[in-house]
């Protein structure tokens, strides 16, 4: 059994793996954002390549474990949203708007329903 499979067998481990996956996906996407709109020349190429590498790591982290991805996807979407807001603020100086807070509350509520609904 792989290390990732052992981790996701425990809820806290699954949360950690999904958090890492969300961070890698958001960080990789931020490199593409930089390469398309915020850099020129060699910086553009380097940012694009960094995005490809980081998103490849994301793909591995999220797909290597054998888990009920349909159920855990609800938690993942919540983590992705939260990490995306943090990266948007820290890396690009973009503060969440009221619409983002309202939509985010719905995302978090949906993730909780998916994660904890029995049956």
Highest average pLDDT, of 8-12, 24-28, 38-42, 109-113, comes from 24-28
Q: What is the mean pLDDT of residues 80-102?
A: 95
> To the nearest 5 percent, what fractions of the chain are helix, strand and coil?
85, 0, 15
The two tokens of residue 15 are: 């949360």
Confidence of residue 71 (pLDDT cuts 50, 70, 90): confident
Q: What is the mean pLDDT of residues 86-105?
A: 95
**What's residue 1's pLDDT?**
60
Q: For residue 13, give every residue at least 6 positions away whose Cβ sits within 8 Å of its Cβ, in sequence order, or none.
A: 6, 7
Q: Rounded to an integer, what distance in angstroms lies between the CA atom of residue 105 and that of residue 89? A: 18
Q: What is the mean pLDDT of residues 45-73?
A: 88
Q: What is the mean pLDDT of residues 55-74?
A: 84
Locate the domains of the chain by residue range.
Answer: 3-116
Q: Rounded to an integer, what distance in angstroms lies between the CA atom of residue 46 and that of residue 32? A: 10
Which tens digit of pLDDT belongs to each residue from 24-57? Answer: 999 999 999 999 988 788 999 999 999 999 999 9
Q: What is the pTM of this model?
A: 0.82
């Amino acid at each position: 059994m792989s290390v990732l499979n052992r981790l996701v067998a425990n809820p806290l481990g699954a949360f950690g793996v999904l958090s890492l996956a969300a961070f890698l996906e958001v960080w990789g996407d931020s490199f593409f954002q930089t390469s398309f709109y915020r850099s020129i020349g060699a910086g553009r190429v380097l940012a694009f390549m960094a995005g490809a590498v980081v998103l490849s790591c994301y793909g591995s982290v999220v797909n290597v474990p054998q888990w009920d991805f349909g159920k855990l996807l609800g938690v993942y979407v919540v983590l992705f949203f939260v990490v995306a807001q943090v990266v948007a603020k820290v890396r690009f100086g973009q503060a969440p708007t009221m619409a983002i807070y309202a939509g985010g509350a719905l995302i978090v509520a949906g993730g909780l329903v998916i994660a904890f609904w029995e049956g």
